[in-house]
Amino acid sequence: MSISFEQFNTFVKEVTQETSKIINEAFKSQKEYWLKEDNSVVTQTDLVIEEHLRGRILEKFPSHGISGEEFQNQNDTSDNCWVLDPIDGTNSFIHGVPLFGTLIGFLDRGFPKYGSIQFPCLNNELLIGDSSKCYLNNNLLKRKNFSSWEKSLILTTDENRISRSRFYENWSRLKELNGMCRTWGDCYGYYLLCTGLADVMFDIDLKPYDILPVLPILMGSGIKVLDLSEKSDYTTIVACKPEILPTITEIFR
Amino acid sequence: MSISFEQFNTFVKEVTQETSKIINEAFKSQKEYWLKEDNSVVTQTDLVIEEHLRGRILEKFPSHGISGEEFQNQNDTSDNCWVLDPIDGTNSFIHGVPLFGTLIGFLDRGFPKYGSIQFPCLNNELLIGDSSKCYLNNNLLKRKNFSSWEKSLILTTDENRISRSRFYENWSRLKELNGMCRTWGDCYGYYLLCTGLADVMFDIDLKPYDILPVLPILMGSGIKVLDLSEKSDYTTIVACKPEILPTITEIFR
């Protein structure tokens, strides 16, 4: 049995209220972290939050599958599958920077149907979308127009990683447009894009749990996504306001 | 009459409680901004906060001078002069990014004697120093050791500005040390440095109100400051943990 957007919304609002309290408490104290096999960082809080979310999902939707960042997939060939990133932006989290969030997505036969990002440090704001609409704390987001490159904000998560990739030239050309460039990345970059405060976000080396919950939000808020990955699996993307998609496509293709 | 560190501390704690409320309220609403002659941005909130601070200083210390970002200097040849930046990181503020703060410094015959940074969005945290000690919310900060370049965090405010400067080569060499690089800049970068969460911060084109209130904090927390400006006025600096000052000096000189 699939679920309605209303059901997704109600459930996510409830569980992220719970996880947000745990994350905020942990953010105030010193964060021990260790490296995973792929060299990405993880903290005790990532594990605690993902366990909490898994428990709540299985309690409410016992037949559904779950695919998360920190533990093994469970029943993930199910028509209804949840995708979890307990703390997207763990590097920000461990360095005392409040630009991180909890991602929860819902896949219907593999297709990203609903998505949410919750920001514990930002008054608990919750961004939620279903590919056709996007809501910030229950208010429908209206698309904001692109103004000019001089006033634009261009984001990414990690410039060093881009420098070592085959996209270095494209990224350099994007920067030549003279927008303001910042590494206010991870899910916070997508938040700024959806709310109209940023214009472009370029991201590479994404994992399914980083991007699948974000896609229905981006699309719901009218943001265009250019998939640059070789396997069309959204591991490398440029997301931007629709007016500038032709320029972005010209730069990146 | 100069003032004691205790007097500075008490006064700053009191007035930043007031300004923080105003800033947090404004941060939630849409921010209109305009460009100043030097092309930097300003909002109505910058003006309101600086006026509030000036009013409170003159009420309490009528003989003191004031030099702030947004209005004319008043009596600034006085032996006792306050330096104000109502919102350091206005670009973050207008773009919905909580990495900004209010800077208040105190000069004794031109010498930066006391300084403070207050973060409205970060549980109102207050960092305060007198060049020999540094306190975060009244708790004495202990210096944290440098660990390794692989685990290091290297910060700046605006990479594009560096690319257009004569420091592009030096910055590139710094990045080759393979630390994690981020633009978590402005006063937030100095906060991360003083609390030991970052290792290096490089900043160019600083104005007196950007840096004078920050110097007593940096020095008080044991951070070393390399002044690269031509006029020795701290307009371009690299601040870092003391263990790596030799490497930094070698890269930048």
Q: Is the pLDDT score of B124 beyond 90?
A: no
Q: What is the mean pLDDT of residues B14-33?
A: 92
Rounded CA separation B219/B209 (Å): 17
Of B59, B83, B86, the residue nearest B73 (C-alpha): B83
Mean pLDDT of B171-182: 95
Report the distance separating Cα A119 and Cα B232, nearest Å.
42
Phi and psi at residue B186, in whole multiples of 5°? 50, -155
Tell if the CB–CB gap between B183 and A182 is shorter than 8 Å: yes
- Give the pair of three-digit tokens for residue A32: 């021990």
Q: Is B192 on the interface with A (CB under 8 A)?
A: yes
Tokens of B182: 């981020």
pLDDT of residue A37: 86
Mark yes or no for CB contact B181/A160 under 8 Å.
yes
Give the mean pLDDT of chain B. 95
Class of the CATH domain delimited by A153-252: alpha beta
The arithmetic mean of pLDDT across residues B59-74, rounded, is 96
**Which residue, chain included where needed, has tokens 């105030």?**
A28
Would you call B192 and A153 a contact, using CB atoms and an 8 Å cutoff?
A: no
- Note whether A95 contacts B159, CB cutoff 8 Å: no
B129 vs A29, A150, A241, B112, B140, CA distance in Å? Answer: 22, 38, 44, 10, 10
Contact B98 A122 (CB under 8 A): yes
Average pLDDT over residues B108-130: 95
Residues 147-176, chain A: which have Cβ within 8 Å of B?
A: 153, 158-160, 163, 175
Tokens for A117, please give them.
């990002």
Q: Tell me the shortest Cα–Cα distance from A211 to chain B, in angstroms.
A: 21
Domain residue extents for chain A: 5-140, 153-252
- Taking residue B120's Cβ as centre, other Cβ atoms within 10 Å add up to 24
Stretch among A199-208, B24-33, B176-185, B197-206 having the lowest mean pLDDT: B24-33
The residue-averaged pLDDT of B138-147 equals 94
Smallest CA–CA distance from A33 into chain B, residue: B151
Q: Is the distance from CB of B116 to CB of B127 less than 8 angstroms? A: yes
The pair of three-digit structure tokens given for residue A84, joined into one six-digit string: 């979890």
Rounded CA gap, A50 and A120, in Å? 15
Distances (CA, A) of B155 to A68, A69, A85, B184, B225: 31, 28, 26, 6, 14
Among A182, A191, A193, A199, which would you mutate to test the B interface (most chain B Cβ atoms within 10 Å of its Cβ)? A182
Q: Average pLDDT in the B159-176 region? A: 94
Q: What is the DSSP letter of A49?
A: H
Gap from A28 CA to chain B (nearest CA, Å):
10
Strand, coil or helix: B51: helix
pLDDT of residue B67: 96
Give the distance from residue A208's alpha carbon to the nearest chain B alpha carbon, in angstroms. Answer: 23
B192 → closest Cβ in A95, A122, A197: A95
> What's the mean per-residue pLDDT of chain A?
95
Q: Which two tokens stand for residue A91?
A: 């590097």
- Check CB contact of B41 with chain A, cutoff 8 Å: no
| Chain B neighbors of A163, CB-CB under 8 A | 175
A244 to A151, A200, A225, A226: CA distances (angstroms): 13, 9, 11, 12
pLDDT single digits (tens) A113-170: 999 999 999 888 999 999 999 999 999 999 999 999 999 999 999 998 999 999 999 9
State the pLDDT confidence band at A31, using cuts at 50, 70 and 90. confident
Dist CA B136 CA B125 (whole Å): 7
- At B29-61, the pLDDT tens digits run 877 899 988 888 999 999 999 999 999 999 999
Q: What is the pLDDT of residue B251?
A: 98
Report residue A227: phi and psi, to 5°. -90, 110
* pLDDT tens sequence across A70-123: 999 999 889 999 999 999 999 999 999 999 999 999 999 999 999 999 999 988
Closest CA of chain B from A108, distance in Å: 33
> Which residue, among A163, A177, A174, has the nearest Cα to A238 in the 3D structure?
A174
Identify all chain A residues contacting B160, using CB atoms and an 8 Å cutoff: 175, 178, 180-181
∠ Cα B4 B6 B9 (to 5°): 115
Tens of pLDDT along A185-228? 999 999 999 999 999 999 999 999 999 999 999 999 999 999 99
Rounded to two decimals, the ipTM of the complex is: 0.93
Query: What is the model's pLDDT at position B106?
Result: 98
Q: What is the DSSP string of A183-200?
A: ---HHHHHHHHHTTS-SE
Instruction: Compute CA distances B213 → B6, B87, B127, whole Å.
Output: 16, 13, 11
Q: Do A195 and B96 touch (CB under 8 A)?
A: yes
pLDDT tens column, A50-85: 999 999 999 999 999 999 999 999 998 899 999 999
**Average pLDDT over every residue of B223-230:** 97
Q: Exposed, middle or buried: residue B208 (CB in 10 Å: 0-12, 13-18, 19+)?
A: middle
Residues of A in contact with B153 (CB under 8 A): 95
**Which residue in B32, B90, B97, B147 has the most chain A C-beta atoms within 10 A of its own C-beta, making it the best mutation to test that interface?**
B97
- The CATH homologous superfamily to which domain A5-140 belongs is Fructose-1,6-Bisphosphatase, subunit A, domain 1 (3.30.540.10)
The letter for the amino acid at A185 is G
